[in-house]
Structure 1
Amino acid sequence: MKPSIFYYVLFLIFTITTQSIFNFTTTNAASAAEVVVKDSTGKKVLNDVRYHIAPVAKGGSFKLTDTIKNKKVCPFDVVHDPKDNLGGEFMFTMTYKRETYLKTSRALAIDSGVLKNNSCEKSTFWTINDYEAKAPDNLITTGGKFESEETCFKVLEYPKPTNAKVHSYMLQHCPSSCGDGPVISCFNISITSYKGVNRLSIVGGAPFEFVFHKIAK
């Protein structure tokens, strides 16, 4: 019986040690995937604070609008304005874990804020109503509920930056990372033209490459 007990103890030690090594490796691998986001000047981007965002290749910026083709819209839409280098103020907020700085690969919500003199009572969170549908339902608009599958996004480092001197990023829509969304893959967000207006949507093209700009006080 003694040899049996001895080998059993060895087996337990081996199992516990192996499991500890696996957990350590897995935790470090997960941590390595998360990187603190930086703005155009190289400073860390604050979580839950407003920033301007601008595409790297097309120029201009993104902003919130209540008018498309001279028609009022509610909820509001997020559009690209090639003539505006400042753009709107957008707040990126990680949903499950509050930290000082924004990190890549974390589920987050993007708040557009409220336009002045608006009469629309919908929420201002970026929303994709149906990731399986075609435009306009796969376009980024607003009106969703915080921490739901429609408003769930992630920021990732851009795989092949256009400008190596600038920290650039891409967006993904990740329904399964928030709320009760189905277990599915994340979808890259691209710039697309819909009825003559540049918008952000799930279209399967090259991911939208953008940079963060700190808002001047």
Structure 2
Amino acid sequence: MKPSLFYVSFILFIINSGIASATQVVVKDATGKKVLNNVPYHIGPVTVAKGGGFKLTNTMNNKKICPYNVVQDPSAANLGDTFMFTLNYKRPKYLHTEGVVGIDSGYPKTGPCQKSTFWTIPDAEAKAPDNLVTTGGGFEEDITCFQLVEYPKPTNPKVHSYMLQHCPSFCGSGPQTCFNVSLYVDNGVRRLASRGTPFEFVFHKVPK
């Protein structure tokens, strides 16, 4: 095995084990500014060549779904929806890595699908659609329990990029490990799901 491949495999093993880092680091957006806790932000890939930001969708395979899925907008020009990342530890002013976060979609709770807006993974060990990132559940439940981690090998070292992990046991019962949140392509639609190579993303402040 080539050293570079071994290095990548080793890094991914550490990430899957839920021990990617033991140091809390303040999260920064694509411009280098600190990301505020519990404040709406757009999130998207590091480079526009990889598509636009993330948003919610109420359809899957031409059928209406409830709760909604989290998907990537195919157009690089679109920043997608806004999401709030909220740390449950002493509610600090800024986000930091290695802390449990709840992610709120901020989607209206009125209409035909009246589910909670927190990002949820029903069963991180299952296959799609049960391991897709959807909405539903309550704050700090095992199915809505995530953490932010600095991306171990960033595409652009000058940009602060991150990955997301789903860690059910941090908030209650569930597997004693963390699962990488990755991209799952379903009939051309890029959805977020558990397991696999972690998806690298950056934060974008909401334009005034």
TM-score using structure 1 length: 0.80
Name the structure where helix makes up a greater proportion of residues. Answer: 1
Say if 2:109 and 2:116, in contact at 8 Å, map to a contact too.
Answer: no
Q: Which amino acid aligns with 1:49?
A: V
Aligned to 1:177: 170
C-alpha distance in 1 between matches for 2:110 and 2:178: 36
Aligned to 1:50: 40
Match of 2:57 among 45, 55, 65: 65
Q: Look up the SS of the partner of 2:29 in the other structure.
A: coil
Q: Deviations over 1:70-119 (max 9, x none)?
A: 32221111111121531110000012321000000100100001149743
RMSD: 1.8
Say if 2:109 and 2:115, in contact at 8 Å, map to a contact too.
Answer: no
Match of 2:207 among 183, 204, 216: 216
Q: Look up the SS of the partner of 1:147 in the other structure.
A: coil
TM-score using structure 2 length: 0.83
Q: Look up the SS of the partner of 1:176 in the other structure.
A: helix
Match of 1:197 among 184, 189, 198: 189
Q: Look up the SS of the partner of 1:33 in the other structure.
A: coil
Q: How does 1:49-198 map to 2 (within 5 A)?
A: 49-57=39-47, 58-83=50-75, 84-115=77-108, 118-178=111-171, 180-182=172-174, 184-198=176-190
C-alpha distance in 2 between matches for 1:95 and 1:78: 22
Question: Which consecutive unaligned segments of at least 5 residues does structure 2 have?
Answer: 1-20
Question: Which consecutive unaligned segments of at least 5 residues does structure 1 have?
Answer: 1-30
Q: Look up the SS of the partner of 2:134 in the other structure.
A: coil
Q: Look up the SS of the partner of 2:173 in the other structure.
A: coil
C-alpha distance in 2 between matches for 1:200 and 1:162: 19
The higher relative CO (CA closer than 8 Å, separation ≥ 6) is in: 2
C-alpha distance in 2 between matches for 1:143 and 1:187: 19
- Provide the identity percentage: 64
Runs of 4+ off more than 4 Å: none
Call closer, same or farther: CA 1:203–1:121 in 2, change over 3 Å. Answer: same
Alignment coverage as a number of residue pairs: 185
Further displaced range: 41-50 or 76-85: 76-85
Say if 2:83 and 2:104, in contact at 8 Å, map to a contact too.
Answer: yes
The Cα shift of 1:32 comes to: 6.6
Q: Look up the SS of the partner of 2:198 in the other structure.
A: coil
Q: How does 1:29-44 map to 2 (within 5 A)?
A: 33-44=23-34
Say if 1:173 and 1:186, in contact at 8 Å, map to a contact too.
Answer: yes
The Cα shift of 1:143 comes to: 0.9
Q: Deviations over 1:143-187 (max 9, x none)?
A: 121110000000111011101111000000000111x22360111
